Amino acid sequence: MARYFIEVAYKGTAYSGFQIQQNANSVQAEIEKALKIFFKAQLTLTCSSRTDAGVHALSNYFHFDCDNLPHHQRLNEVVYNINAILPDDIVIRRIFPVGIKAHSRFDALSRTYRYAVYQTKDPFVADRAYYYPYTLDIEKLQEAATVLTEYTDFSSFSKRNTQVKSFTCNIFQSEWTAEGNLKVYKVEANRFLRGMVRGLVGTMLKVGTGKISMADFRSIIESKDCTKADFSTPPQGLFLLQVKYPISLVENL
């Protein structure tokens, strides 16, 4: 038996999240269905990172075990054929062998997310960004983003009913940039809590519009109370950009 990683990308608009769930369609369910058609067997997938309903990904991963996959160039044929089965809003970018103990979730070093806000009506980004037609101070947004790197307890930015045992996250990168009509927040951390990025963005937008001060923002972080954060930002502005792994795990690519 050999272990493989699958790198996937998807537009999450039509799905109730990445991970398989009862009574709702998910990205994982569609991929498992396509794999079953192609391999004529049920494969069990383990996901690297969950994304919520409506959230997109440029790169996310599963791992699975299988003993009848071809090697090297012929894996490209497998990818081509499975993509022909999948719906248009999901694509497998590659399948590659890894060590039998490699784990798509636990071996990940970090995840990087992007959240985009647009302030002038634009139908070409409406399904991939959040329309927020209010004056924003990019310097205040960046100041708030920098403050986040001083903290490790993000209880205030985790939605309720989560099953995690710890709210500790190490943020490696946190920055706002202007990209034409878009204001874009990019954040990299070793882990993220349920709803964390959208909670961070929603609360920082209040800083950027002057609704709350930097002192208020720090107070929200330090309160460890999720009722004080703003989780109202919609899912379509959020992308999972990258899941980073040790070079030794993927050096055979």
Pairing of strands 182-189, 171-179: antiparallel
- The one catalytic residue among 52, 67, 89, 107: 52
Instruction: Extract long-range pairs of 216-225: CB within 8 Å, 24+ residues apart.
Output: 217/144, 217/147, 218/147, 220/156, 221/147, 221/148, 221/151, 221/153, 221/154, 221/156, 221/157, 222/151, 223/156, 224/153, 224/155, 224/156, 224/167, 225/155, 225/156
Sorted by sequence, the CB contacts under 8 Å of residue 98 that are 6+ apart come out as 3, 4, 5, 63, 249, 250, 252
> Is residue 52 flagged as an active site residue?
yes
Instruction: Extract long-range pairs of 175-181: CB within 8 Å, 24+ residues apart.
Output: 175/142, 175/145, 175/146, 176/138, 176/141, 176/142, 176/145, 176/204, 178/138, 179/116, 181/118, 181/119, 181/120, 181/122, 181/125
Catalytic residue ranges: 52
